[in-house]
Amino acid sequence: MWDFHRELKSGALQCTACPRLCQLTENEVGWCGARVRRGTKIEPRTYGLIHGRLAEDPIEKKPLYHFYPGKKILSFGSYGCNLGCLHCQNHHISMQKANSDISRLRKVTPAEIVQECLTRNMKLIASTYNEPMIAFEFVRDIAKLAREHNIKMAVVDNGYITRRLAESLTPYIDAANIDIKGFSSEFYKEICASPSWKPILRTCEIFYTKGVHLELTNLIIPTKNDSEPMIREMCEWIRDKLSPLVPLHFSAFRPDYKLDHLPYTPVKTLENAMKIATEVGLRYVYIGNVSGHKGNHTYCHNCGNLVIKRERFFTTALGLNGNNCSSCGTKIPIILRNT
């Protein structure tokens, strides 16, 4: 089940984990920089290798606003990515390719990560910082062990994987924040070095329908993906193909990597995107990377009551009675505690 490759008549092995479908000869590394052919298998050369230390992050930093708000999540990342985003803020690790020196990475086992989580009295783990699915075996093995201790597994993901991998992973992943980086094939080709973008939408649909807690992020880049028609089309797709209750985070761009010549996203652009999403019918829309903005807070979708207040990454539950709005009694689609 977990052999995501097939042998071609040429003798090459084709990786079937992501839509790039790289064809690899012996010891050749795929486009992502993480998957390598060894004999009759394609496997992650970064399995168990993490960049830096295990970090104790606020879960709102992922961002996950409706999944154990206010809790800490043990976070790790590695090297490589199967997209090539020109604005990547973690390009120093994500853009490491076949010739990168992975000997500098720290070796850690799934059991050690789970034990670290238990030692810190935490109940949440996230694969983040770079693309988790290029070493999906590591995520799977951590999640399987974590479940034995009632620890939840989250991924911060670009969604660029095959249908079979997405369906195979849903039993192991409890929550995902998927970046919808733009809403056109032209944008993904120009900015993300992706030959296709529909697999990302498919992954969102699979995760949502299979019960993975799903939140979406759209980083708005001035002149690239900030047009009102594009934003409206994306919001309509979320409403129609997923649910109006799926949280959507509009995040502010900051100049970085190969797009360092572009300006910061104006707050007014983010507010306009939020207005469009609300008009379309999305119920939980947020503004990210703008400290102190009211768009960081959660309001009841029925009566507008402030139910969770956020100041940077600190949260305060103001208007909740369990999972219900304390004002009108409407159930808020939010997960508050491990059961």
pLDDT grade for 95, boundaries at 50, 70 and 90: confident
In this predicted structure, the answer to whether residue 198 has a pLDDT above a threshold of 90 is yes
Q: How far apart are CA 135 and CA 17, in angstroms?
A: 10
pLDDT digits (tens, 9 = 90+) for 115-172: 999 999 999 999 999 999 999 999 999 999 999 999 999 999 999 999 999 999 999 9
Asked, for residue 6, whether it belongs to a domain, the answer is no
In this predicted structure, the answer to whether residue 339 has a pLDDT above a threshold of 50 is no
Alpha carbon 55 to its chain's center: 17
pLDDT digits (tens, 9 = 90+) for 250-260: 999 999 999 99
Residue 163: both structure tokens together: 């249908």
User: What pLDDT is recorded for position 213?
Assistant: 98
User: What pLDDT is recorded for position 42?
Assistant: 97
Task: Express as a percent the part of the chain with pLDDT over 90.
Answer: 91
Asked, for residue 323, whether it belongs to a domain, the answer is no
User: What pLDDT is recorded for position 131?
Assistant: 97
Q: How far apart are CA 143 and CA 173, in angstroms?
A: 7
Task: For residue 287, give the nearest of 254, 256, 250 by alpha carbon.
Answer: 250
Asked, for residue 35, whether it belongs to a domain, the answer is no
Q: Which residues contact 336 (CB under 8 A, 6 or more apart)?
A: 68, 69, 320, 322, 323
Task: Express as a percent the part of the chain with pLDDT over 70.
Answer: 98
Distances (CA, A) of 6 to 22, 23, 252: 11, 9, 41
Identity of residue 19: P
In this predicted structure, the answer to whether residue 216 has a pLDDT above a threshold of 90 is yes
Task: For residue 64, give the nearest of 72, 76, 56 by alpha carbon.
Answer: 72
Average pLDDT, integer, range 63-88: 96
CATH number for the domain harbouring residue 274: 3.20.20.70
Task: For residue 167, give the nearest of 14, 17, 30 by alpha carbon.
Answer: 17
In this predicted structure, the answer to whether residue 57 has a pLDDT above a threshold of 70 is yes
In this predicted structure, the answer to whether residue 337 has a pLDDT above a threshold of 70 is yes
pLDDT digits (tens, 9 = 90+) for 283-317: 999 999 998 999 999 999 999 999 999 988 889 98
Identity of residue 71: K
Asked, for residue 104, whether it belongs to a domain, the answer is yes
- Computed on alpha carbons and rounded to an integer, the radius of gyration of the chain in Å comes to 20
Does residue 171 have a cis peptide bond before it, meaning omega lies within 30 degrees of 0?
no
DSSP code string of 144-197: HHHHTTT-EEEEEE-----HHHHHHHTTT-SEEEEE---SSHHHHHHHH--S--
User: What pLDDT is recorded for position 120?
Assistant: 97
Alpha carbon 197 to its chain's center: 15
Listed in sequence order, the DSSP H helices in 172-287 are: 185-192, 198-209, 228-237, 267-280
Asked, for residue 11, whether it belongs to a domain, the answer is no
Asked, for residue 197, whether it belongs to a domain, the answer is yes
User: What pLDDT is recorded for position 180?
Assistant: 98
Average pLDDT, rounded, for the chain: 95
pTM, 2 dp: 0.97
Asked, for residue 335, whether it belongs to a domain, the answer is no
pLDDT digits (tens, 9 = 90+) for 176-190: 999 999 999 999 999
Q: How far apart are CA 21 and CA 19, in angstroms?
A: 5
Domain count, the chain: 1
Q: Are 248 and 283 in contact (CB under 8 A)?
A: no
In this predicted structure, the answer to whether residue 98 has a pLDDT above a threshold of 70 is no
At residue 4, what are phi and psi to the nearest 5 degrees? -95, 65
Alpha carbon 84 to its chain's center: 15
Q: How far apart are CA 268 and CA 287, in angstroms?
A: 11
Structural domain range at position 86: 48-296
Asked, for residue 247, whether it belongs to a domain, the answer is yes
In this predicted structure, the answer to whether residue 99 has a pLDDT above a threshold of 70 is no
